[in-house]
Structure 1
Amino acid sequence: MFLKGTLREEQAANSQPTGPGGDLPEPLEVIQLSLASVEAARERFPGYRLTRLVAARLELDEADIARLSGILDVDLFRSIPDVKRPFDFHLRNVIARYDLGALFRDDGHAPYHHSIRPTGYDFHRDEVIPVGMEQWRADYRHMPDERQIMAASIVWLYRAGKDNVWLRRVPCTWHAADAIACLIAAGAFEDWTRLYALYPGW
């Protein structure tokens, strides 16, 4: 269960990070405060976009993700029987669940999640396929916000940071707190946080 009730109000009022081990890393503080109050998060972290939050995953270690599990009261490392590659398994489930198959494909160039790449690009020639990229962006634009957020997050994880290939001239500049609120409202936040937590690099 996510933070709620009196605890949310108290944390929003105090604007202080809590949790085991003292101060939280900034990305976790952004998430925790966003859960307490979107307005407080926007005030304390003006201009903190979702792309920055996703890129900051590279700065976090397993102990930090354990702390994130504590913030959310969800076991983000929960094992699934017979699943040896949890990120690969979850990524494929997310792509299927949120109908992102037009944006990402498994081209079999590498094992596990490394074979999943955004469409609209010729990776052998290292160049955009104009018609394919136009279609990628059109499909993306027609998606509701939570699916755009999920797709953009996958691209940023794939790129290990900002992207100006697929995400040019499409909506992707959400404040992190607004994106979190949108994901929660759509029932997609746990899927997003598990993708974030399990990410092993691409």
Structure 2
Amino acid sequence: MSDVRSAVSPCGRIAEPLQVIRLSIDSVDAARRQFPGYRLTRLVGARLELDEKDIDRLSDMLGVDLLRPVAGASKPFDHHLRHVIALYELSALFRDDGHAPYHHAIRPTGYDYHRDKVDPSGMELWRADYRVMPDVRQMMAASIRWLHRAGKDNVWLRRVPCTWHAAEAIACLRANGAFEDWARLYALYPGW
């Protein structure tokens, strides 16, 4: 077994998303065999099914306190979301429109929110910017979008790469040093 700690609860069961994460870290091939159709979008969407104990188990599995406080950050998800957008250079895809408090103000570009409809040229630019990004940045952007929607997205992520198997996505995020940032975003997510 890898250096990842067990996520088994005292009753011997763990939530399926945590099983996928744990097995993916241990063996991408084994995770693909056991969870053949489990996409990253499903993993992100399953976040709403997890409770505080599950997030504690995820932290234990990774050996990292995903919920650790950050000095001066009263809203940890908002702080980390903005950090991820800056660190992974996703500002062409997401902007702070200032019309809501904290992370609620972060919205994807390419949409006219006053008219509640797609801005065709803005959406074309969003998709073009997304397509030229390396996979790790696409995975972070898609994950933010899925968190924003609390599930699948058929507007921004239409006709762009986003169908990664969860195990392959986790392997890519880990290989690029982005998995802890992704996991912290996942763990801190309070809903949009």
Same-fold call, TM cutoff 0.5: yes
- Tell me the equivalent position of 1:4: 2
Q: Normalized against structure 1, the TM-score is what?
A: 0.92
Matched to 2:8, the amino acid is G
Deviation of residue 20 (structure 1)?
2.9
1:1-202 matches, within 5 Å, as: 4=2, 18-21=7-10, 22-202=12-192
Q: Which runs of 5+ in 1 are unaligned?
A: 9-16
Q: Normalized against structure 2, the TM-score is what?
A: 0.96
Deviation of residue 4 (structure 1)?
2.3
User: Hey, what's the Cα distance between the residues in 1 that align with 2:144 and 2:183?
Assistant: 12
Matched to 1:160, the amino acid is A
How many residues are aligned here? 191
1:19/1:70 contact within 8 Å kept: no
CA deviations over 1:11-58 (Å, ceiling 9, x no partner)? xxxxxx752332110000000000000000000000100000000000
User: Hey, what's the Cα distance between the residues in 2 that align with 1:19 and 1:160?
Assistant: 26
Matched to 1:20, the amino acid is S
User: Hey, what's the Cα distance between the residues in 2 that align with 1:31 and 1:18?
Assistant: 10
1:19/1:71 contact within 8 Å kept: no
SS of the equivalent of 2:155 reads coil
CA deviations over 1:87-126 (Å, ceiling 9, x no partner)? 0000000000000000000000100000000000011211
SS of the equivalent of 2:42 reads helix
Q: Give identity over the alignment, percent.
A: 72
User: Hey, what's the Cα distance between the residues in 1 that align with 2:46 and 2:190?
Assistant: 13
RMSD of aligned alpha carbons: 1.3
CA deviations over 1:165-197 (Å, ceiling 9, x no partner)? 000000000000000000000000000000000
1:86/1:198 contact within 8 Å kept: yes
2:41/2:152 contact within 8 Å kept: yes
